[in-house]
Amino acid sequence: MRVSGKLFWLPKNGNSLEEYEDAAYPCDEHFETEANEFKCAVADGATETSFAGLWAKLLVEGYSEKTALALLRQKWNADVRQKDLPWYAEEKLEKGAYAAIAGLHLKKSRGKKNIFTVEATGDCCVFHVRENTMLSSFPLSASEDFNNSPALICSHEDASVDAAMSKLTQRGEWKDGDSFFLLSDAIACWALKRQEQMQDVASVLQNIEAQEDLTRLVDEERHLVLDDGRPAMKNDDVTLLCVTVCS
């Protein structure tokens, strides 16, 4: 099985690159590998929580490398406890960090069907595209499904959000040349809205070949005001990971 991919991302408008709190794995701008099994993921750290970017990074690496959630939580807590923080930051730290995640697991089968699995907690999405047509979107499939309180995974085990209960799973079959787009929530919501209106989002996403392509698209859509007075794309961190698979 040959897997190739490309990754592009942007922070919120007005924020520095260091303030970007999404994460993706693999984290190379372009990558290619041959294997019988491949895992990748995108996560969106909740901005209002402490060290959410670090937590998002640990989650995508942990998903791809099959690291237990308990160990990721230990790693996050160990890393942040080493930092010299003011008292109010220490107090906020006790509430933990939160993030949404969507992961894709591709397998090369010995039989006739090659299977993929998508696992998600929250509102990061995975689009399955074949021959310029979007076959599915998971875990959300409509722009109206997005809200301000998605399910999230917390860096503290005793948090009120139970990640195991909110994790959703979908399985399907991939074929030669299929593409999968893993998107954080702002661009996922925009893409589904565009698909509902124009039915062309697969070609739009596939035409993003370089960082400047994503930058141009996001800048235009953030400044485009819809009839309801809201921007076409919410001003949030944006992550787009595209994976193409061939047997």
Strands 238-246, 125-130: pairing is: unpaired
Q: Could you give the dihedral angle defined by the CA atoms of residues 64, 70, 71 and 72, in that order, rounded to the nearest 10 degrees?
A: 60
Report the C-alpha gap between 188 and 171 in whole angstroms.
20
> Do residues 177 and 125 touch, judged by C-beta distance below 8 A?
no
Q: What's the pLDDT at 80?
A: 86
CATH classification of the domain holding 74:
3.60.40.10
Distance of CA 180 to the CA centre of its chain: 12
**19-37 per-residue burial string, b: 16 or more CB within 10 A, e: under 16:** ebbbbbbbeeeeeeeeeee
> Do residues 14 and 223 touch, judged by C-beta distance below 8 A?
no
Written as six digits, the tokens of 158 are 């005793």
Alpha-helical regions (H) of 123-245: 163-166, 185-198, 201-206, 211-223
Question: Which amino acid belongs to residue 234?
Answer: K
Q: What's the pLDDT at 234?
A: 95
- 75: containing domain: 2-246
Distance of CA 78 to the CA centre of its chain: 24
Q: What's the pLDDT at 159?
A: 65
Query: Containing H/E element for 113?
Result: none
State if pTM tops 0.85.
yes
Instruction: Sort 38 into a burial class: Cβ within 10 Å, 0-12 / 13-18 / 19+.
Output: buried
Per-residue pLDDT of the chain (247 residues; tens, 9 = 90+): 999 999 999 999 999 999 999 999 999 999 999 999 999 999 999 988 789 999 999 999 999 999 999 999 999 999 888 777 776 666 677 788 999 999 999 999 887 789 999 999 999 999 999 999 999 999 999 999 999 889 999 998 876 555 555 789 999 999 999 999 999 999 999 999 999 999 999 999 999 999 999 999 999 999 999 988 999 999 999 999 999 999 8
Place of tokens 């999968």: 180
How many folded domains does the chain comprise? 1
Phi, psi of 160 (to 5 degrees): -70, -20
Report the C-alpha gap between 99 and 152 in whole angstroms.
5
Written as six digits, the tokens of 154 are 């917390």
Please tell me what DSSP assigns to residue 18: G
Report the C-alpha gap between 43 and 27 in whole angstroms.
12
